[in-house]
């Protein structure tokens, strides 16, 4: 399914891996030799396909937003430096080489997406029973930790129970991930709400140092890893307008695209207006949250 372009060579580094959006390199020389260079591209994915179209400036927006959140939240994170090679300046960071936990740490404060599907089928999300009568977009009585497996690139992450996480990494580590996930989500949700944005849910990734210090890693609280909704138009019982790539998903599944999601074929290129609208939404989210101009 995936059609990831070959990552460009960067002098002084060795390419390790490319995901749907990011390229990862080992730094071979200099002050940060042995650490990692993480580069955010302008690629965009939908329905487990990397599209041939890109969203201009997306990688830089994601990088700036993650850096703003790391600074604002005051948490232990993986960024060592933003002094990166000129070719990737603005869209890359030098980060610690951590031992990553094999868990997607998802926090939900509102019911939507796969959580809504699970709730409708079982009344639960990841084994957590929820009250009757909730709708798409309903605010939950309190935020919940709903972990997922880390799937291979191109596959779906799958929601799992907390007990499954305990079985995978042990009780102590699982409890630490749950605590930190809900703590960071709570802080971020309050900050976003002050700025007129609802943080409906988000996904974190954590790693650890050799001394077992827990470190927040990867991207954080961006439109790629989170659902952001305008607070002034929130209304449970319907799909909410959002600051993410829902615009792209909606176009791909519309008659206008001519694409059959079940065909197994690569989606078509995005029209210029969809690309422009998506870019504008990413910028709007960044500027509204940070108060900065892109």
Instruction: Give the pLDDT band of residue 245 (cuts 50, 70, 90).
Output: confident
Cβ atoms 165, 128 nearer than 8 A: no
The mean pLDDT of 166-182, rounded to a whole number, is 97
The mean pLDDT of 282-286, rounded to a whole number, is 95
pLDDT in tens, 29-66: 999 999 999 999 999 998 888 999 999 999 999 999 99
Q: Which superfamily, per CATH, for 13-95?
A: Phosphorylase Kinase; domain 1 (3.30.200.20)
The mean pLDDT of 215-239, rounded to a whole number, is 95
Instruction: Give the pLDDT band of residue 4 (cuts 50, 70, 90).
Output: confident
Its CATH class, for the domain covering 99-251, is alpha beta
Q: pLDDT at position 53, please?
A: 95
Quick check: do 13-95 and 99-251 share a fold? no
23 membership: H or E segment, kind and range: strand 22-27
Q: pLDDT at position 47, please?
A: 86
Of the candidates 211, 214, 207, 216, the one whose C-alpha atom is nearest the C-alpha of residue 187 is: 216
Within 10 Å of residue 179's Cβ, how many Cβ atoms? 12
Q: Where are the domains of the chain?
A: 13-95, 99-251
Instruction: Give the pLDDT band of residue 136 (cuts 50, 70, 90).
Output: very high
């Amino acid at each position: 399914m995936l059609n990831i372009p070959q990552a460009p060579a960067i002098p002084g580094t060795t390419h390790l891996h490319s995901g749907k959006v990011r390229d990862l390199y080992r730094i071979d020389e200099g002050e940060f030799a042995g650490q990692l260079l993480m580069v955010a591209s302008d690629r965009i994915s939908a329905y487990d396909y990397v599209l041939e179209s890109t969203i201009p400036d997306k990688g830089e927006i994601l990088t700036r937003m993650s850096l703003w959140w790391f600074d604002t939240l005051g948490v232990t994170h993986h960024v060592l430096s933003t002094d990166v090679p000129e070719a990737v300046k603005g869209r890359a960071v030098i980060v610690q080489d951590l031992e990553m936990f094999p868990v997607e740490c998802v926090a939900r404060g509102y019911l939507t997406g796969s959580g809504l599907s699970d709730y409708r089928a079982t009344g639960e999300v990841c084994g957590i029973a929820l009250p009757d009568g909730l709708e798409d977009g309903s605010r939950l009585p309190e935020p919940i930790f709903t972990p997922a497996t880390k799937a291979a690139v191109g596959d779906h992450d799958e929601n799992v129970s907390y007990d499954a996480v305990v079985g995978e990494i042990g009780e102590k580590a699982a409890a630490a991930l749950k605590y930190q996930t809900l703590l960071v989500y709570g802080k971020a949700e309050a900050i976003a709400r002050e700025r007129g944005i609802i943080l409906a849910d988000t996904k974190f990734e954590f790693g650890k140092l050799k001394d077992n210090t827990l470190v927040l890693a990867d991207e954080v609280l961006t439109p790629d890893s989170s659902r952001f909704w305008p607070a002034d138009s929130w209304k449970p019982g319907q799909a909410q307008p959002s600051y993410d790539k829902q615009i792209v998903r909606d176009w791909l599944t519309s008659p206008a695209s001519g694409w059959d999601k079940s065909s197994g074929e690569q989606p078509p290129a995005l029209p210029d207006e969809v690309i422009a609208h998506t870019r504008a939404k990413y910028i709007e989210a960044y500027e509204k949250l940070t108060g900065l101009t892109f």
